[in-house]
């Protein structure tokens, strides 16, 4: 195996279901060399959730969590390397997304923590981080960034494709077969975030395995219509969102006046995710003949995947496993790619997607 072009991608998303680490070899197309998932301790997870909402003493807590996450990210990388035949000298760089604690594109502001100084220091590997803010400095949304990666590795000149990532939030990338047409990409709204929060509140579980709890309930149409009336769903892209918009307190407020069982609420939340995704596709994708490739944690939710297939009966709906990229590791691979682009002095944003004034080299470099 050529060892000259291996990068490690680090991803911790809004779902907080763990830290994904993937070693990617770019010497021949794209090959996933090794992967590891690092659990986020409950205490740290609770502190991260605190930071996603306004609280007193935020700055002290943010500093503490920034350091703890940096150490945990470094531990995750070191664990990956120790479990494989890789040596640190083979790794060109780490691309660390960090943990988003606030994303306010309307103010040109986003913040990801997980100190890259500590990652570089504790791993001995050059680390690239802070990918979003340069796009925002150029008047972009700073998100989603993954569509540029999707276009680079998954464009198919023979057919239109939509890449759907279902993490805490859901986002789509439309890749027209005709490369002269623009790429469309944006956050459609909540992915797993509300379903995860609701089942954690009622059953102390981190997620609804295969959507079985949701399947035990019934979707409430009136609640669904209320949720889908939220202005975000009707905004035109470019747009992005996060926990600032969709969180448990917001959901609790929306449920006022509805006397639903917890499982009926969960069923409605699953339908909200599916319906908002399909509505976004139908409103903003200029194609009816496309294949939908799904990645992220939501791609493993059988009930959600089944619902997407029902809502898109004339389209091929499958996971990215079908095209050779494991659906669990897509985003980690994307940030390995973004680190590579940064070190090579190449741009990493897609202006059609983020709305930035121009293409920019993304990321700050922390030398080993």
Domains present along the chain, CATH in parentheses: 6-142+329-366 (3.30.420.40), 146-323 (3.30.420.40)
Give yes or no for a contact between 110 and 353, defined as CB atoms under 8 angstroms apart: no
Residue 294: cis peptide before it, omega within 30 degrees of 0 = no
pLDDT at 85: 87
Find all residues with CB under 8 Å of 60, minimum gap 6, and list them: none
pLDDT at 53: 82
| Bridge-based pairing state of the strands 6-12 and 91-104 | parallel
Please compute Rg for the chain using Cα positions. 20
Q: What are phi and psi of 81, to 5 degrees?
A: -65, -40
pLDDT digit of tens for each residue in the chain (368 aa)?
Answer: 444 799 999 999 988 889 999 999 999 889 999 999 999 999 999 999 999 887 777 899 999 999 999 999 999 999 999 999 899 999 999 999 999 999 999 999 999 999 999 999 999 999 999 999 999 999 999 999 999 999 999 999 999 999 999 999 999 999 999 999 999 999 999 999 999 999 999 999 999 999 999 999 999 999 999 999 999 999 999 999 999 999 999 999 999 999 999 999 999 999 999 999 999 999 999 999 999 999 999 999 999 999 999 999 999 999 999 999 999 999 999 999 999 999 999 999 999 999 999 999 999 999 99
State how far Cα 137 lies from the chain centre. 21
Rounded Cα distance between 326 and 7, Å, is 17
Show the DSSP H helices in the chain as ranges: 42-51, 58-82, 116-123, 133-137, 146-154, 193-203, 212-215, 221-228, 248-254, 262-284, 302-311, 330-343, 351-354
Give yes or no for a contact between 190 and 170, defined as CB atoms under 8 angstroms apart: yes
| pTM for this entry | 0.94
């Amino acid at each position: 195996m050529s060892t000259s072009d291996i990068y490690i991608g680090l991803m911790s998303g809004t779902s907080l279901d763990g830290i994904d680490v993937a070693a990617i070899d770019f010497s021949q197309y794209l090959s996933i060399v090794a992967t590891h998932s690092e659990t986020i301790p409950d205490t740290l997870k609770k502190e991260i959730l605190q930071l996603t909402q306004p609280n007193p003493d935020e700055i002290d807590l943010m500093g503490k969590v920034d350091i703890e996450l940096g150490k945990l990210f470094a531990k995750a990388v070191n664990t990956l390397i120790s479990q494989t035949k890789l040596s640190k000298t083979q790794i060109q760089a780490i691309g660390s997304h960090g943990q988003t604690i606030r994303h306010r594109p309307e103010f040109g502001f986003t913040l990801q923590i997980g100190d890259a100084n500590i990652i570089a220091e504790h791993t001995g590997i050059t680390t690239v981080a802070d990918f979003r803010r340069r796009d925002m400095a150029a008047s972009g949304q700073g998100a989603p960034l993954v569509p540029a990666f999707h276009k680079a590795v998954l464009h198919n000149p023979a057919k239109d494709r939509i890449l759907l990532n279902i993490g805490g939030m859901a986002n789509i990338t439309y890749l027209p077969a005709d490369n002269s047409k623009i790429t469309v990409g944006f956050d459609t709204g909540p992915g797993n975030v509300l379903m995860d929060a609701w089942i954690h509140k009622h059953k102390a579980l981190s997620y609804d395995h295969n959507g079985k709890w949701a399947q035990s309930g019934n979707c409430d149409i009136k609640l669904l219509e209320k949720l889908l009336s939220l202005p975000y769903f009707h905004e035109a892209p470019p747009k992005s969102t996060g926990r600032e918009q969709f969180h448990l307190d917001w959901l609790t407020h929306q449920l006022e006046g509805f006397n639903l069982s917890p499982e009926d609420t969960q069923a409605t939340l699953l339908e909200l995710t599916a319906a908002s995704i399909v509505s976004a596709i139908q409103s903003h994708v200029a194609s009816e003949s496309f294949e939908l490739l799904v990645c992220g944690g939501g791609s493993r939710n059988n009930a959600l995947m089944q619902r997407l297939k029902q809502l898109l009966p004339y389209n091929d709906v499958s996971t990215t496993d079908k095209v050779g990229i494991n659906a669990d590791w897509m985003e980690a691979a994307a940030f390995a790619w973004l680190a590579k682009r940064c070190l090579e002095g190449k741009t990493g944003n897609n202006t059609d997607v983020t709305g930035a004034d121009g293409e920019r080299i993304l990321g700050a470099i922390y030398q080993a």
